Amino acid sequence: MRRIQFFDTTLRDGEQTPGVNFNTKEKVQIALQLEKWGIDTIEAGFPVTSQGDFEAVQAISRAATKMTVAGLARCQKKDIDRAYEALQEAKFPQIHVFLATSDIHMKDKLKMTKDEVLASIKEHVSYARTLFEKVQFSPEDASRSDKNFLLEAVQTAIDAGATIINVPDTVGYSNPKEYGAIFAFLISNIKSDQEIIFSSHCHDDLGMATANALAAIENGANRVEGAINGIGERAGNTALEEVAIALHIRKDFYQCETGIVLNETKRTSDIVSRLSGMVVPRNKAIVGGNAYAHESGIHQDGVLKNPETYEIITPQLVGVQTNSLPLGKLSGRHAFRTKIEELGYTISDDEVKKLFKRFKDLADKKKQVTDEDLIALIDDQVRSEEEVCHLESVQLQYVSNGHQGAIVSIEDEKGEKSIASAIGSGSIQAIYNSIDQVFKQHPTLTNFEMNALTSGEDAQAEVRVTIEDEVTHEQVNGVGIDFDVLQASAKAYVQASSILKSKGAKS
Ligand SMILES: CC(=O)SCCNC(=O)CCNC(=O)[C@H](O)C(C)(C)COP(=O)(O)OP(=O)(O)OC[C@H]1O[C@@H](n2cnc3c(N)ncnc32)[C@H](O)[C@@H]1OP(=O)(O)O
Ligand SMILES: CC(C)C(=O)C(=O)O
Ligand SMILES: [Mg+2]
């Protein structure tokens, strides 16, 4: 059976989602879960873009033991050198070089002629090949490129030493029939002494990213690129979990196998959703909250008689868990650590110690600490360690039918406290105005979401915010969790402001 390789770009193209910013620790956490899920290659970042991206690629290179670690580079020597430097410690390094080949990108964006594009591919793929054994080339916007020129570009890359050819449907313009035909055409026309891996890279602008990836596989692609939960630029990338399960459930049709550990799918999706702040819609295929729920009478009757009447996938296949080990205030350290490991985290004794103390404080306030509470606690701990500034306290003066007043105290990285007060037409606005004073900022709040982590009166509130810098228009997310909705709102806003501040300081 043909083996399909999985190339995950959650940390590169996925991070191109507006508002998504992973810190290095979060990137390593996601990378290790992806390795557990069984991907073959991770695109850990685009090292030339920032010191943060560079360091994250370095950290993932050190942490990965089985998977190949790739870095993206334009056809520019400095990009390739920076990727080489970042991937020094990777056991299995790979570079991914790209250059657009469609008329519109060459003429209006790159301002290069076809000959210049071919010369640049030759020069930069050859250069990359002097540093890396595995070189991947992507003709960006391939699906809108002239097919004969696309072949010429791909052949140039292969002649220069590329052994992996990725064919991007950069703007999600293609459909399965057309996209599959591009693979059939390229595969039957390229000349090479070496085995060439053909790979799909699709975007979901017309809702066809998964269908297009599967069409590529039907037409000879043996690698698929995408991101968990389909996150990514604009409408996102191919959702890799959809391809993995489709290939498994329809093995009769596709006749392919993968290295994906299917029962790690839900856990992988959950981690990416939490750390990216991109909530998975309930009706999302494979990992959505409703994907295994049966609402109507006729369906429920059928499922009770034989689940296969309406269920093509079992929740167990993708690792949807039932709560096997409930934790409460009488639980001990062993059960706590076991539960954390069950949830997929690998943490040091030191971290267990810190978390256990916070868990006990939480358990004093709640009858039962759920998986959601624990995951939120761990994520909050990871994020707070990276935060430059912390919310120390919030004080509110509430007036019915009037302006609300807030005083906030925020501690910076040196332990210095700043206090500010402001009014607002609501309590949250008053708090946010005070925080803006401390950070000397005027960002736009572009998203505010509040959810209860669990049901019941003792549920913790989770607040997610996105703020946009008034000058750079960079968007960053913040998450805050607390029993009190106003405190959770303040924490989320301080976290986002703190990330914006550290980004400003680096640039
Ligand atoms: C389809 C994709 O997903 S491509 C990946 C997109 N990802 C990103 O852009 C990551 C974030 N980007 C960045 O941090 C910055 O854009 C950088 C560091 C990459 C470049 O920054 P800058 O040097 O300031 O250039 P800027 O982004 O304004 O413009 C891009 C330049 O790269 C050129 N370029 C674009 N693609 C390529 C390529 N594949 N090879 C060579 N040059 C390229 C453009 O023509 C433009 O060149 P010009 O300055 O001569 O006009
Ligand atoms: C860099 C390339 C592969 C890309 O992300 C795209 O073309 O969509
Ligand atoms: Mg892309």
The string of DSSP letters for 104-137 reads HIIIIII---HHHHHHHHHHHHHHHHHH-S-EEE
Q: What pLDDT is recorded for position 322?
A: 53
203 has binding-site annotation = yes
Q: Which ligand does the CA of 170 lie closest to?
A: 2
| Measured distance CA(328)–CA(289) in Å, rounded | 25
pLDDT at 368: 74
Spatial separation of the C-alpha atoms in residues 85 and 48, rounded to whole Å? 10
Average pLDDT over residues 5-14: 98
- Which residue type sits at 426? G
Best mutation site among 7, 98, 106 for ligand 2, i.e. most ligand atoms within 8 A of its Cβ?
A: 98
Counting ligand 2 atoms within 8 A of each CB, the residue from 140, 212, 223 with the most, and so the one to mutate, is: 140
In order of 267, 270, 374, the CA distances from 371 in angstroms are: 12, 12, 5
Lowest mean pLDDT among 375-379, 404-408, 470-474: 375-379
Q: Is 101 in the pocket of ligand 2 (CB under 6 A)?
A: no
Q: How far apart are CA 243 and CA 67, in angstroms?
A: 19
Ligand 2 centroid distance, CA of 435 (Å): 38
Task: Decide: 268 and 33 in contact? Cβ < 8 Å.
Answer: yes
pLDDT, one tens digit per residue, over 212-259 is: 999 999 999 999 999 999 999 999 999 999 999 999 999 999 999 999
* ipTM > 0.95 for the complex: yes
* Amino acid letter, residue 217: I
Structure-token match 């299917």, residue found: 262
Q: How many angstroms separate the CA atoms of 497 and 505, rounded?
A: 12
Q: How high is the pLDDT of residue 226? A: 98
Atom of ligand 1 nearest to the CA of 100: 39
Which token pair is 369?
A: 């600490």
Q: What is the DSSP letter of 291?
A: T
Q: What residues contact 229, with CB distance under 8 A and at least 6 apart?
A: 239, 241, 269, 272, 273, 276, 278, 280, 284, 287
CA 199 to ligand 2 center in whole angstroms:
12
| Ligand 2 neighbour 387 (Cβ under 6 A) | no
pLDDT tens figures, 227-237: 999 999 999 99
pLDDT at 505 over 70: no
Find the ligand nearest to 145 CA.
Answer: 2
CB-based burial, 242-253: b 16+ in 10 Å, e otherwise = bbbbbbbeeeee
| Ligand 2 atom closest to residue 237's alpha carbon, by position in its atom list | 8
Residue 201 near ligand 2, beta carbon < 6 Å: yes
* C-beta separation of 486 from 463 below 8 A: no
Rounded-to-5 percentages of helix, strand, coil across the chain: 45, 20, 35
How far apart, in whole angstroms, are the C-alpha atoms of residue 292 and residue 6?
Answer: 25
The two tokens of residue 292 are 């295994």
Question: Is residue 93's pLDDT more than 80?
Answer: yes
CA of 293 to the centre of ligand 3 (A): 33
The finding on whether 138 has its CB within 6 A of some atom of ligand 2 is yes
Q: Residue 131: which of 97, 78, 80 has the closest Cα?
A: 80
Burial class (CB in 10 A: 0-12, 13-18, 19+), 409: middle
Q: What is the pLDDT of residues 49-75, one digit of tens each?
A: 999 999 999 999 999 999 999 999 999
Nearest ligand to the C-alpha atom of residue 100 = 1
Strands 41-45 and 256-257: unpaired
Calculate how far, in angstroms, residue 131's C-alpha sits from the geometric centre of ligand 1: 22
Residue nearest (by alpha carbon) to ligand 2 atom 6: 170
Residue with tokens 């006749």: 255
Q: How far apart are CA 148 and CA 130, in angstroms?
A: 28
Q: Is 237 annotated as a binding residue?
A: yes
Report the separation in Å between the CA atom of 165 and the middle of ligand 2, taken as the mean of its atom positions. 12
Distance CA 74, CA 105 (A): 14
* Ligand 1, CB within 6 Å, residue ranges: 13, 16, 46, 48-49, 74-76, 98-99, 109-110, 140, 170, 233
The structure's pTM equals 0.80
Q: Is it the case that residue 16 has pLDDT exceeding 90?
A: yes
The annotation status of 390 as a binding-site residue, yes or no, is no
Residue of 11, 43, 74 to test ligand 1 pocket, by largest number of atoms within 8 Å of CB: 74
Question: DSSP of 293-361, one letter per residue?
Answer: ---SHHHHHHHHH-GGGT-SS-HHHHTPPP--S-B-TT--HHHHHHHHHHTT----HHHHHHHHHHHHH
Q: Please determine, for residue 323, whether its predicted confidence score (pLDDT) is greater than 60.
A: no
76 Cα nearest atom in ligand 1: 41
What span, in angstroms and rounded, lies between the C-alpha atoms of 222 and 256?
9
Q: How far apart are CA 500 and CA 372, in angstroms?
A: 27
Averaged pLDDT, 489-502: 92
- Ligand found nearest the CA of 80: 1
